[in-house]
A and B are shown apart, each in its own frame.
Chain A
Amino acid sequence: MRFQKSVPLIHKTGLHLRPARRIMDAAGKFKCDIKLMYRGKTANAKSITDIILLAALPGAELLIVTEGTDAQEAMTTLEDVIVNSINRDEDI
């Protein structure tokens, strides 16, 4: 199974340290491959270094791609983390 979905990032500093850590923690719970794509770059969502190096700035459209056995559930979780947790976070 493969899912992909585009999600806007509106966190005020972009995908930096703490949001990156949150994505990694969420992605780590799944078996499937989870990738984030932004401006031609691809990050493994289970690698915090990768996520930070995506350098996704506020206003970015992130493409989430999940592929594997629990891909659907992973997509729901990742989207929820970005839209409902990271985008609403007031901290840096």
Chain B
Amino acid sequence: METRRGIAVSPGVAIGPARIVESQGAQIARKFVMPDEAPREIARFDKALTASQQEIHELAEGLRTRLDQQVSVSDIFQVHLGILEDPKLRHQITNLITHRLFTAEFAVQEILRRYITSLQEAGDSYLLQRVRDFEDIGQRLLRNLQGETHQQLARAPGPVVIVAHDLTPSQTAGFDKEKVLGIATEAGGRTSHTAILARALGIPAVVGAAGLINSVVDGDMLIVDGSQGAVVITPDEATRQRYQARGRTFEVIEERTAAEFCNLPAVTLDGRAVIIEANIEFPNEVATVLNNGASGVGLYRTEFLYHTAENPPDEEAHFQAYMEAIRALKDHPMTIRILDLGADKFPSGFPERNPFLGCRSMRLLRLQPTVFRNQIRAILRASAMGKLRFMFPMIANLAELREARKVVTEVMEEFDAAGAVYDKKIQVGIMIEVPSAAMTADLLAEESDFFSIGTNDLVQYTLAVDRDNERVAHLYSPVDPAVLRLIQRTVQAGQKAGIRVSMCGEMAGDIMHTILLVGMGFESLSMAPSVIPDVKKLIRSIRYEGAKKIADHALSLKTAKEVEQYLSDETRKVVPELVQERQPEG
């Protein structure tokens, strides 16, 4: 059993055998034709163009009838059609055939490549995801030129889970929900068309799961958890049963509360307000998370700038991404996490015997001062335009914090000297995700403007458990007494120093832990957008005084299992409809 993590883009759980889909798009060799053959090439191209337009008509119509009101989805193909019907496209391609004597195939590839290059040069993350649309159009034309019949992937023999490096919108739209149980890809983002189509088709999907293809063999049993962003490869029987139970109830749960609660504030019955923020990977998610009821972005994971760029993002790339977010934030605050590279995310390239204890996050940035400074500069520049905070990941002791803050001070001095505008009072915080940081939270609080607890790392470091290792995963629990004591210590240190303590780990978005966290005194929680309505509903159904008692009792229990059972019982009492049949994790 092995688990790969990615971005959850289409909720639900799918369990089935893997079917690996090769990426389309082999390179076309540069070949020429004789001048008298050019008209024939143009005629071939025109025939392929007409056939492609016809296919898209059918695809869009098919989607429209399958999805009833999901007209917006077939709009994606209306745009493909618009491009294929654009006289400019035909003109440019036939020009290359006539004047350069390219074969129709090479001319098509060449023009589409030029379009894609200009999109990439724009450097906007939303536009970059549109590259796939142009590739899709190109591949459709090439396939028709080469006379292949229109084959849809859905013609798979039985229900399968599709695994691919990336999929084109056409491939995704061709999927039949009866035969394609779930989708897992290595590339893509939340707003890629694959993601949008999978959601519209109701197929659970995870994208951005790095290293997936090399871990999966055709026919392997897979679980795609499109709500949490996990792909489990060859799960054991217990894991499989747990997911099966979740798969049955999840749809009812997630749909129901969404509309009702997303716009209400998260205030307990006795008036304690909790700030609910969202975790994002891409700036273009901001609008969606605000619609989901988040009052800001509590964690912007900037590593994903590496996803879309070929080279390390420069200052301008950072700045553009932050500005894109700020424009959509409309004055809501955003907390940017400094690049958290290394370990499981974009490995450093150094040989690491133990990557999680190695050169990752701030330790890696120390060796790459330019990368670090570029990001600080971009954040400071953008801070003049919107409400930004930023935080350092993986701080283990005060010396590291001081070293990082020194760089920030230097950059600020450069700005002052140059008369550049920035928010001089910008808050600089740290992630608390190493046990040593939690233990010395009182010291760190004196030199930090806020804390944000990252539970995934805090749990694994505290308990010495890799939760993706099946033989020890049962030992992983965010409510283990050791973890809870570290969290409590951090909250108390923050309260004493008068700084905000937030949590942005997975634990913050699990309704089983909401009462506990509110009771422990968290002022803000940041989570995946999809869980916000449930968490709000729960907070609005409890009393802060009661939650404090529950937290106290939970902290007095002796084992993780006892705490889990207790919290599950207490949560069920308040919102039985959200807990039904759901098994406690771990």
Q: Which A residues fall within an 8 A CB radius of B?
A: 12-14, 16-18, 20-21, 24, 44, 46-50, 52-53, 55, 57-59, 91-92
Contact = CB atoms under 8 A, between A and B. Distances in A.
Contacts of B328: 12, 58
Nearest to B288: A92
Given A13-B126, A21-B82, A47-B88, A53 B119 contact: yes
Contacts of B89: 49
A46 B86 CA distance: 8
Nearest to A53: B118
A53 to B, nearest CB: 5
Interface string B313-340: 0000000000010011000000000000
B462 interface: no
Contacts of B122: 55, 57
A81 to B, nearest CB: 15
Interface of B: 72, 75-76, 78-79, 82-83, 86-89, 115, 118-119, 121-122, 124, 126-127, 130, 133, 191, 284, 287, 324, 327-328
Contacts of B126: 13-14, 16, 92
Contacts, number: 65
A49 B327 contact: no
A77 to B, nearest CB: 18
A20 B88 CA distance: 15
B75 A18 contact: yes
B78 A21 contact: yes
Given A21-B78, A48-B79, A48-B83, A12 B127 contact: no
B88 A44 contact: yes
A17 B79 contact: yes
26 contacts: A12-B327, A13-B126, A13-B284, A14-B124, A14-B127, A16-B130, A18-B75, A20-B82, A21-B75, A21-B78, A21-B79, A21-B82, A44-B88, A46-B87, A47-B87, A47-B88, A48-B82, A49-B89, A52-B119, A53-B118, A55-B118, A55-B121, A55-B124, A58-B327, A92-B191, A92-B284
Contacts of B86: 24, 47-50
Contact of A52 (B72, B75, B130, B287): B130
A65 B559 CA distance: 72
B324 A58 contact: yes
A53 B328 CA distance: 22
Nearest to B117: A53
A66 B72 CA distance: 30
Given A17-B133, A44-B88, A55 B119 contact: yes
A16 B127 contact: yes
A-B pairs, top 7 by smallest CB distance, nearest first, are A55-B122, A47-B88, A17-B79, A48-B82, A49-B86, A53-B118, A13-B126
Nearest to B327: A58
B67 to A, nearest CB: 15
Contacts of A55: 118-119, 121-122, 124, 127
Contacts of A50: 86, 88
Given A20-B82, A58-B327, 18 more contacts: A12-B327, A16-B130, A17-B76, A17-B130, A17-B133, A47-B87, A47-B88, A48-B86, A49-B88, A52-B83, A52-B119, A52-B130, A55-B118, A55-B122, A57-B122, A58-B328, A59-B327, A92-B191
